[in-house]
Amino acid sequence: MLGALSKIKDLASSPQNSAISMSINASLPLSFNVLRKTGFNKYELRLGRKSLLTKSAKPLEIGAHYWGEASGIKDSIIIKNMLKKPLITPVAEAGIELAEGLVQNGAPWFLKAVQEGLIKAKNVSEFGVYSKMLLALSEGVASIGFVRNDRLGLLQLSKHELYVIFDELGPVKFKLQHELMAHSPFFSVVSLLKQNGVNAAQSESVRPLWQPKNGLMDGVA
């Protein structure tokens, strides 16, 4: 499972992906947010520094962030297989270090690191971040939000599943059954994984392993 995670990280870090993410003929999912509705099934999107028009049979939420697979020409594109981005929380300032430490050293190390972060928290917001991590652990999931290349990412690990978000690829879930299998909602990502030696299948049910419930801690992180 850790080898597959390393492969995903390498693919997301590929220099070509920064260019791919800005191309309307992208071979990987586009990352965009919805600016406004311009007409029936028509929307204005923001992709990086560009504003583009699209048609979507599926209603889009104004202000929300999505991934989608696109085709089209010039400034008019059709986006299919759209997926609204999940809320990534908690996001730790040391998220990358915590994620790498979890992968390299395992759950006991991670639990100790989270407990130490809780004790040493400098403010209410930081205390809330580590409190949510501890809550996730109590429910059987190590959950770490992080910032990488100015983009939010997420790593979640349970006993038999790994869920990871790199913005360049969208969400990928690994399940350990008879063999390790990766699942992605995007055909383009599944194809890329297969080309790089990862068993993969397309699935619409790629959901986070854990998300915080509405409650008393919502205002502190």
| pLDDT tens figures, 140-164 | 999 999 998 889 999 999 988 999 9
* Same domain (yes/no): 70, 99: no
* Same domain (yes/no): 70, 128: no
CATH assignment at residue 20: 2.40.50.140
* Same domain (yes/no): 8, 38: no
Q: What is the pLDDT of residue 108?
A: 94
Q: Half-sphere exposure of 176 toward its Cβ, with a 13 Å CA cutoff? A: 12
- Domain total in the chain: 2
Q: Name the domain boundary from 39, 69, 84.
A: 84
Q: Tell whether the torsion through CA atoms of 111, 151, 192 and 9 is positive or negative.
A: negative
Instruction: Give the mean pLDDT of the chain.
Output: 85
* Same domain (yes/no): 212, 182: yes
pLDDT value at 178 more than 90: no
pLDDT value at 165 more than 50: yes
Q: What is the mean pLDDT of residues 162-177?
A: 91
Q: Name the domain boundary from 84, 103, 120.
A: 84
Query: What does the pLDDT look like over 52-108, one tens digit per residue?
Result: 888 888 899 999 999 998 776 555 567 788 999 998 988 999 999 999 999 889 899
Model's pTM, two decimal places? 0.85
Sort strands 180-184 and 170-176 into parallel, antiparallel or unpaired.
antiparallel
* Same domain (yes/no): 21, 61: yes
* Same domain (yes/no): 93, 193: yes
* Same domain (yes/no): 120, 142: yes
* Same domain (yes/no): 97, 196: yes
* Same domain (yes/no): 128, 75: no
* Same domain (yes/no): 162, 173: yes
Q: Token pair of 18, please?
A: 């920064």
pLDDT value at 125 more than 90: yes
* Same domain (yes/no): 126, 61: no
CB 91 within 8 A of CB 129: yes
- Alpha carbon of residue 194 to chain centroid: 20
* Same domain (yes/no): 6, 25: no
Q: Name the domain boundary from 84, 101, 134.
A: 84
Find the domain containing 210 and state its range: 2-13+87-220
